[in-house]
Structures are given as structure tokens and as C-alpha cells.
Amino acid sequence: MPQKKPVVVVTRKLPDVIETRMMELFDTRLNLEDKPLSKAELIEAVKTADVLVPTITDRIDAAVLSQAGPNLKLIANFGTGVDNIDLATARQRSITITNTPGVLTEDTADMTMALILAVPRRLAEGERLLRSEKWNGWSPTHMLGHRIWGKRLGVIGMGRIGQAVARRAKAFGMSIHYHNRKRLHPELEAELEATYWESLDQMLARMDVVTIHCPHTPATFHLLSARRLALLQPHSYVINTSRGEIVDENALTRMLGRGELAGAGLDVFEHEPAVNPKLLGLDNVVLLPHLGSATIESRIDMGEKVIINIKTFADGHNPPDRVLASMF
Ligand code: 8YV
């Protein structure tokens, strides 16, 4: 007798090719309108599903997980960060969690590099000026920014994305510094020409640009606290394409407004999709709506990872991208 297909509930609209394949392989319930699920709808989903496919916009907390039906054995997250899921409660309930690492590394690194260039060179500000039809023509002293060649880049979190950013920044003439829970293998450190700082505080005080690439966990919440932001020099820039919660957004906004920092490039925010209104009024920031991995290539690859994880799990094997407690 053919095996019953698992009931898979997908919380958001995914690329068409992914949805088509999921419909072929599983008993899939799609969200064609892409309207984020309410808490009640999420609870309904975990009651009925064998597999849930959430994204960053779904909070799979203890309240939701406590309502999960006996069949929910896998949460196959569409995304690498799993801070939207209460991992401890999921573990207690023997629910396996998978994510989609690796496939969005290069795109996220590109977006980070774009911000590292855009903020000091005032790209968005210049574009706004032009569009407002207020440009009066070239002048030797008009809209001067800062050179990034020869400057120090401090990478916080030297995993896949941090390394991909380091490679790009090195090619732009920046010197690479990093802080990580674990020091890199000496060969990799040498290849990246990266200097390791055991003390984040000491690194921050010496950098021209700081970029964040660690996951958001209880340990990294407000890692860039008001105290640590104050260690940065007034000419330095903060770039964040990781998670908004890692930076104290109010403190950052205050310091940017007072000129205690030179600028910031932010793709993520502490209370997404809300953005601190004071940030919106600042000229020295470039703000993006969480576009780090927003390419069709990344999204399809992420979907394929989700499919492989579900299929492997349904076939009775360990899925390749299991999230283990030790990772976070
Ligand atoms: C995704 C991301 O947009 O994968 C991640 O962790 O931050 C993003 O690039 C989002 O998380 C999808 O759920």
C-alpha cells in the first residue's frame, strides 16, 4: 500500500516552482494570498499538520506549540535564522526543527557589501536629492562621503555569511577584523587575512565599520547595547543584515541623531516591520525592508532545502539541516 503523504502546512506564499513540487510530493496546504497567519490560524495549523513550514513572520512560541497535535513532528523553517521558533519547547515536545543554511550566504553578503558601500558614499541620500529635483550641479565639495579602501571592518560573527562578507570587503581594500565565539582555523584566518579579537569591546573601539553576522539568540539580544555602541568612534558605521534584536535600536537611533556615530546601514529592525520613526528622519542611514536574501535564486534554493528536509524526514531518515541545540 502506498504510504500516506504527510500533511504540510505552508504559512506564506513561496515561489511557484516550489509550491508545485510540494503539491506533487505532499498533501500540501498553501497560503496563496500570502496573508500572514493570525495566532489562531497558526494554532489551527499546528493542530492539523504533520509538518509546518513557517517563516520569520510566524512566531512559533510556547503558546502555539502547546496546542500542537500529536502528528506535528517536524517544523521545516523557510529561512536560516530560527529565532521565530521556541526551540526549547519544540525539543521538549520531540519536534524536529530544520532550516535552510548555506543557500543564501552569497546574496546576503552582497547586500551587506552594498550597504558598506552605500552608507559612507551617501548613495541613498544622493538619490533622494536627485529625485527631489534639488540638485544644482557638480561642486568640488558637494556631498563628500568617506573612502572605504584602507579602512578597518569589524565582523561580529564569522560564520558562512561573515566570511563571505570578509572576502568581498578584502577585495575592496578593507582590513578584516572579527569577533566570534570560536576562533577560525589558522588556515582560514590566513586566507581571509583576518585579525581575531577575543574581546568584542576592544574590537569595537578600533573599527571604522562594524557588520553583524551572528544569529539572534538570548545570548546575542542587544549584543550591541548602548554601552557597547558608545565604544565605537564617532566616525564609524554600523551595518546590520542579521537580526534587528542584536542592536539596541533606540540607543543606535539616538547616537546617530546626535552625530555620535557616522551612519548605519540596516536591513533588519528590532520590531519588524515597524521601524523607529526617528530613524526614518535621519539622512545618514540606509534602510532596507529585510532584503538580504531576496533574490529569486535564493528563495528557490531555500524552498528546495525545505522540500529535501521534509522528504528525508518523511522517509524515516535524519533531515540534512536539523537544527541542533549546540548550534544556537
Ligand atoms: C529570510 C533570513 O528572509 O534566512 C534567514 O534567516 O533572515 C532571511 O533571509 C527569512 O528569514 C525567511 O524566513
Cβ count within 10 A of residue 24: 10
Question: Quick check: CB of 80 below 6 Å from ligand 1?
Answer: yes
> Mapping DSSP to helix (H, G, I), strand (E, B) and coil, where does residue 136 land?
coil
* 145-161 pLDDT tens trace: 999 999 999 999 999 99
How far is residue 144's CA from residue 109's CA, in Å, rounded to a whole number?
Answer: 26
Q: Looking at residues 259-273, what average pLDDT do you find?
A: 98
Task: Please tell me if the CB atom of residue 244 comes closer than 6 angstroms to any atom of ligand 1.
Answer: no
Q: Whose CA is nearest to atom 11 of ligand 1?
A: 79
Catalytic residues: 243, 272, 290
DSSP 36-59: PPPHHHHHHHHHH-SEEE--TT--
Which atom from ligand 1 is nearest to the alpha carbon of 242? Answer: 7
- Indicate the pLDDT class of residue 98, thresholds 50, 70 and 90: very high
Kindly state the percentage of the chain with pLDDT values over 70. Answer: 98
* CB of 292 shorter than 6 A to ligand 1: yes
pLDDT digits (tens, 9 = 90+) for 205-226: 999 999 999 999 999 999 999 9
- Share the mean pLDDT of the chain: 97
Q: Is the CB of 166 under 6 A from ligand 1?
A: no
Whole-angstrom CA distances from 197 to 95, 149, 179, 194, 287 are 37, 21, 5, 10, 29
Q: How confident is the model at residue 327 (pLDDT cuts 50, 70, 90)?
A: low
* 4 or 292, higher pLDDT: 292
Return the closest-CA partner of residue 238 out of 274, 291, 197, 279.
Answer: 279
Testing ligand 1's pocket by substitution, the residue of 18, 56, 84, 288 carrying the most ligand atoms inside 8 A of its CB is 56
Q: What confidence score (pLDDT) does residue 124 get?
A: 97
Q: How far apart, in Å, do the first and last CA atoms of the chain sit?
A: 41
* Ligand 1 centre distance from Cα of residue 128 (Å): 28
Give yes or no for a contact between 104 and 292, defined as CB atoms under 8 angstroms apart. Answer: yes
- pLDDT bracket for residue 1 (50, 70, 90): low
Do the Cβ atoms of 242 and 109 come closer than 8 Å?
no
Report the pLDDT value the prediction gives residue 328, as an integer from 0 to 100.
Answer: 61
From the list 160, 164, 152, 233, the residue with the least C-alpha distance to 197 is 152
For the chain, domains (ranges, CATH) are: 7-102+295-327 (3.40.50.720), 105-287 (3.40.50.720)
What length does the chain have? 328
The CB density around residue 291, as the number of other CB atoms within 10 Å, is: 14
pLDDT tens, residue by residue, 284-299: 999 999 999 999 999 9
Quick one: pLDDT band at residue 319, thresholds 50, 70, 90?
A: very high
pLDDT grade for 3, boundaries at 50, 70 and 90: confident
